[in-house]
Amino acid sequence: LFVELPDPLNIPLNEYGLTLTVWFDFFGYFTNIVIIYTAVKNGLGGDSANTGCYDRIALLDLPECVEANCVILEPDHSGGSTLVRTLVKYLQKIKGPLKFNARVVDVNQQKVFYMKEVCFEDVLITKLCEMK
């Protein structure tokens, strides 16, 4: 069986000259548990988005029907940002698209300076087919 997750979503924050990226990965072999990563980078996409932006992070406000167990901040020196990794359970409880707010926070000021509703049409399994 082949399992495919949604493509990463890049959201340009034009007024701040930043790009917010949200993407998914599976947690081991458990198809009901995923990791949602977020990163905020300088620039508005492409190669320019790889310059350092360690003082801004994106936190997720997920629906109450899912369980977000773990948020870990990971400096990603090769990618030029601080990754936020959120372990999420029970996405199968969501009927329809997954909608949540991503809050971009200035770590130094401990202040939210941007909030955006994010929507993924299909989250957990978008394609299931037999590999030959």
Helix, strand or coil for residue 15?
A: helix
Residue 1 has pLDDT above 60, yes or no: no
Residues 6+ apart with CB under 8 A from 15: none
State pLDDT tens for residues 17-54.
Answer: 899 999 988 887 666 788 999 999 888 765 544 455 78
Residue 104 has pLDDT above 70, yes or no: yes
Average pLDDT of the chain, as a whole number:
80
CA distance 39 to 103: 11
Q: Which CATH number fits domain 10-117: 2.60.40, 2.30.30, 2.30.29, 1.20.58?
A: 2.60.40
pLDDT bracket for residue 126 (50, 70, 90): very low
Residue 74 has pLDDT above 50, yes or no: yes
- 115-128: average pLDDT: 71
- Model pLDDT, residue 129: 47
